[in-house]
Amino acid sequence: MLKPILKLLGAFLFSVLAIYFVLVQTGNVIAAVACLALLGVLLPLPILEVISAFRQRSKDLHYRNLNGRHYAFRTQSIEVDETDDHDRWIRIASIRSVLENLPANPVLKRIFQDQMTDGPAASIHVDALIDYLRRAHDHRAIQFKLWLEREVSLPAQNRKTRRSRPA
């Protein structure tokens, strides 16, 4: 954020100093007005860079609590939690919003056992859910499984292999 601001200040100072020296050296007001074209040439790009940097910074601040957790299957928001070792857990409430025929939580607990957490933020390990959805015959469940593999599971596996590789 600081670099675009410094560019803007530098361009502005250069333009003002050029106009000042032309005015002092020549005493010609017309030449000084012609130097105003420097402002028109030098300032727009730094101004746009400052606006762009400000916009990006504000987006980063706004979405920082969702960073790495927010996904969307079609238009449906899916909340995914990631552990320190890049295991991803998907909230059951998010799964229910996509798959209406998902069994009740006690049944899911028997199916997934240690691959499921309890409580208000109950979650299922993404890889275990993918294995469960491999037996599905419903078109939407198959699409959801493919999306989970491509958008959630594969990037986590890639991060794990990058971290485990020696430098």
Asked whether residue 112 carries a pLDDT value surpassing 80, the answer given is: yes
Same-domain pairing of 53 and 75 = no
Q: Which domain holds residue 7?
A: 2-64
**pLDDT value at residue 1:** 64
**Per-residue pLDDT tens over the stretch 24-45:** 888 877 777 777 777 777 778 8
**pLDDT value at residue 107:** 92
**Per-residue pLDDT tens over the stretch 39-80:** 777 778 888 888 888 888 887 777 766 655 668 898 888 888
Torsion of CA 73, 102, 111, 144, to 10 degrees: -20
The domain boundary residue, chosen from 64, 79, 96: 64
Same-domain pairing of 96 and 155 = yes
Same-domain pairing of 33 and 91 = no
Same-domain pairing of 94 and 112 = yes
Same-domain pairing of 86 and 153 = yes
pLDDT band at 83 (very low <50, low <70, confident <90, very high): confident
If one counts the domains in the chain, the total is: 2
Same-domain pairing of 82 and 141 = yes
Same-domain pairing of 76 and 130 = yes
Reduced to 3 states (helix: H, G, I; strand: E, B; else coil), residue 125 is strand
- The answer to whether 160 and 86 are in contact (CB under 8 A) is yes
Same-domain pairing of 92 and 50 = no
Asked whether residue 17 carries a pLDDT value surpassing 60, the answer given is: yes
Angle (deg, nearest 10), helices 29-42 and 44-63: 30
Residue found by looking up tokens 């400052």 in the block: 50
Same-domain pairing of 91 and 58 = no
**pLDDT value at residue 163:** 72
Question: Residue 126 contacts by C-beta under 8 Å, 6 or more apart in sequence?
Answer: 80, 87, 88, 89, 90, 148, 152, 153, 156
Going by DSSP bridges, is the β-strand pair 88-91/70-73 parallel, antiparallel, or unpaired?
unpaired
Is the whole model's pTM more than 0.85, yes or no?
A: no
The domain boundary residue, chosen from 21, 42, 64: 64
